[in-house]
Amino acid sequence: MKAADLKLKTEAELNDELESLRKSQFEKRMAMAAGQLPATHELKQVRRNIARVKTVLGEKAREAQSNGESS
């Protein structure tokens, strides 16, 4: 997942993506605790993807706020 791809999505799509990633993170954490997650690097990837989505959401919020103040 690339930040450039995320910037093209709407806030609603980003929130859906964030919810999906959080569910995936939970499932991977449970599998890790049960010893059933063979690819442990996936947990790190999901965590970083969550951070990317949250960063883009924050950028969009700041952009909307700055556009609202200037009008």
| Per-domain residue ranges of the chain | 3-70
Residue 17: predicted pLDDT = 97
Answer whether 58's CB lies under 8 Å from 43's CB: no
Percentage with pLDDT > 90 across the chain: 82
CA nearest to 64, candidates 10, 3, 5, 1 = 10
Q: Is residue 34's pLDDT more than 80?
A: yes
Q: The domain 3-70 is classified under which CATH number: 1.10.10, 1.20.120, 1.10.287, 1.10.150?
A: 1.10.287
Of the candidates 23, 31, 32, the one whose C-alpha atom is nearest the C-alpha of residue 50 is: 23
pTM assigned to the model: 0.88
